[in-house]
């Protein structure tokens, strides 16, 4: 199914990875890779199911030895999502993976260089109607291209991809998607930009070897999001030094945040806290995130530190809670609907979120004693303003001193 792209998405041809379309206006997909030994069938399947639950659409498994290929023969028919075999140096492992029934291959042009081997794999994929990702990696560039360009450059990476496509063209194979990954974000972004100008094959985005969170998340998001905002990219992977479930979660959250996939999970927003905060907002927000982690509730939920500005600042949220006078004030679309003890704030959020998810915000407001909730919220707001004043952070005092300095008095 096609999808409207808010940033003017680049047009690409469409290929299928199993039953999942990639490119051609299809929703941008999330990928990850298992970290288990592929020969460990049950362990690998367990990880694949966890990835699928976290929002992963396509999974890649290493196929670096005969035992891995044999494992794939058991894994593929039991996997809930399409399986791609990651091929390293041996082209025969690609042929073995195809025998196992995989839905796609990933080949690194820097590792398999003999044209006859590349074309043999492409021909087999053509016969089986199986796609290939040309996975150019800055860290394993063909030495000849490295010498030609004097190092790892966007031009070298793009040429590597085009050389591989040329071999595929010789056997009439075009079920291709391409990646030009690097660990350097500006290099990666420029390589994809250049590649998008010379081919209409779908592009797989990623910053390779991004590292552990949180730095790895920042690095990968910087590269992937920059390109998605330009309309470049058809499928993505976060390459983190972490549990691959974190990769899938991050990819899904990014696409939801950019409006590129329908929301399936909670979007939790929270104030940064200030002198008016009545609770430890960081702690409440963390507990709320933990409570909603495994619940598929496509809602925006707000955690605010005070009742003075909280409901107004988060009035567009489906549901929120603000602390005040040792109580939590629940609001739906900015309307106060209930007041609960501070110790029950997170539990109340979960209960109301599940009700809203099932019945809608209007039904939630209708079931509430809105007049009573607003009356209590108004009293708590008044108490807080009386105790802390309108200027909880003492900014007015600072402004007086600033004006003295500026005027020289």
DSSP per-residue letters across 332-388: ETTEEEEEEEGGGHHHHHHHHHHHHHHH-HHHHHHTS-HHHHHHHHHHHHHHHHHHH
Domain end: 228, 257, 286, which one?
257
Q: Are residues 59 and 77 located together in one domain of the fold?
A: yes
Residue 381 has pLDDT above 70, yes or no: no
What integer is the mean pLDDT of 116-140? 95
377 lies in a domain?
yes
Q: Are residues 281 and 239 located together in one domain of the fold?
A: no
User: Which residue range forms the structural domain that includes residue 250?
Assistant: 15-257
Read off the pLDDT of residues 171-222 as tens digits, 9 standing for 90 and up: 999 999 999 999 999 999 999 999 999 999 999 999 999 999 999 999 999 9
Q: Are residues 253 and 272 located together in one domain of the fold?
A: no
Q: Are 253 and 41 in contact (CB under 8 A)?
A: no
Domain end: 257, 284, 317, which one?
257
Q: Are residues 34 and 152 located together in one domain of the fold?
A: yes
Q: Are 232 and 203 in contact (CB under 8 A)?
A: yes
Q: Are residues 235 and 345 located together in one domain of the fold?
A: no
Q: Are residues 176 and 65 located together in one domain of the fold?
A: yes
Q: Are residues 203 and 122 located together in one domain of the fold?
A: yes
Copy the structure tokens of residue 170: 């010789």
327, β-bridge pairs: 324, 341
Read off the pLDDT of residues 37-51 as tens digits, 9 standing for 90 and up: 999 999 999 999 999
Read off the pLDDT of residues 306-362 as tens digits, 9 standing for 90 and up: 766 666 767 788 999 887 667 888 889 988 899 888 889 899 999 999 999 999 999
Q: What is the CATH number of the domain that holds 186?
A: 3.20.20.20
Q: Are residues 100 and 118 located together in one domain of the fold?
A: yes
* Strands of the 58-62 sheet, one edge to the other: 176-181, 131-137, 104-107, 83-86, 58-62, 29-33, 235-237, 204-205
Q: Are residues 243 and 278 located together in one domain of the fold?
A: no
Q: Are residues 238 and 323 located together in one domain of the fold?
A: no
Of 20-34, 157-171, 265-279, the range with the lowest mean pLDDT is: 265-279
> Cis before residue 214, ω within 30 degrees of 0?
yes
Q: Are residues 200 and 324 located together in one domain of the fold?
A: no
Q: Are residues 70 and 176 located together in one domain of the fold?
A: yes
Residue 383, pLDDT score: 64
Domain end: 257, 277, 294, which one?
257
The strand pair at 83-86 and 58-62 is best described as parallel
How many other CB atoms are found less than 10 A from the CB of residue 24? 15
409 lies in a domain?
no
398 lies in a domain?
no
Of 120-124, 257-261, 315-319, the range with the lowest mean pLDDT is: 315-319
Q: Report the Cα–Cα distance between both ends of the chain, in Å, rounded.
A: 68
203, β-bridge pairs: 178
């Amino acid at each position: 199914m096609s999808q409207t792209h808010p940033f003017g998405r680049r047009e690409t041809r469409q290929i299928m990875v199993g039953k999942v379309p990639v490119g051609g206006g299809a929703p941008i997909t999330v990928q990850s890779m298992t970290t288990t030994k592929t020969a460990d069938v049950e362990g690998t399947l367990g990880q694949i199911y966890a990835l699928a639950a976290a929002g992963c659409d396509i999974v890649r498994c290493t196929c670096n030895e005969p035992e891995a290929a044999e494992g794939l023969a058991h894994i593929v028919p039991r996997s809930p999502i399409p399986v791609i075999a990651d091929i390293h140096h041996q082209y025969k492992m690609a042929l073995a993976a195809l025998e196992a029934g995989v839905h796609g291959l990933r080949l690194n042009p820097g590792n398999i260089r003999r044209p006859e081997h590349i074309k043999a794999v492409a021909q087999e994929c053509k016969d089986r109607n199986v796609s290939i990702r040309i996975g150019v990696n800055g860290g394993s560039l063909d030495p000849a291209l490295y010498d030609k360009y004097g190092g790892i450059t966007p031009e070298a990476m793009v040429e590597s991809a085009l050389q591989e496509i040329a071999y595929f063209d010789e056997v009439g194979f075009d079920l291709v998607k391409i990646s030009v990954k690097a660990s350097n974000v500006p290099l990666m972004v420029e390589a994809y930009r250049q590649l998008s100008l010379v081919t209409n094959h779908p592009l797989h985005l990623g910053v390779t070897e991004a590292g552990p969170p949180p730095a790895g998340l920042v690095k990968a998001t910087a590269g992937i999001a920059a390109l998605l905002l330009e309309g470049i990219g058809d499928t993505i992977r976060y390459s983190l030094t972490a549990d691959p479930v974190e990769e899938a979660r991050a990819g899904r959250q990014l696409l939801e945040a950019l409006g590129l996939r329908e929301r399936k999970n909670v979007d939790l927003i929270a104030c940064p806290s200030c002198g008016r905060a009545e609770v430890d907002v960081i702690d409440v927000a963390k507990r709320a995130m933990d409570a909603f982690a495994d619940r598929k509730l496509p809602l925006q939920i707000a955690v605010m530190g005070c009742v003075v500005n909280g409901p107004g600042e988060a009035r567009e949220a489906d549901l929120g809670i603000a602390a005040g006078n040792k109580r939590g004030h629940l609001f739906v679309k900015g309307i106060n609907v209930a007041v609960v003890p501070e110790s029950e704030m997170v539990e109340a959020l979960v209960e109301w979120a599940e009700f809203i998810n099932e019945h809608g915000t209007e039904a939630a407001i209708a079931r509430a004693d809105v007049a009573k909730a607003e009356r209590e919220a108004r009293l708590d707001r008044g108490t807080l303003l009386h105790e802390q004043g309108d200027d909880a952070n003492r900014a007015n005092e600072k402004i007086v001193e600033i004006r003295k300095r500026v005027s020289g008095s």
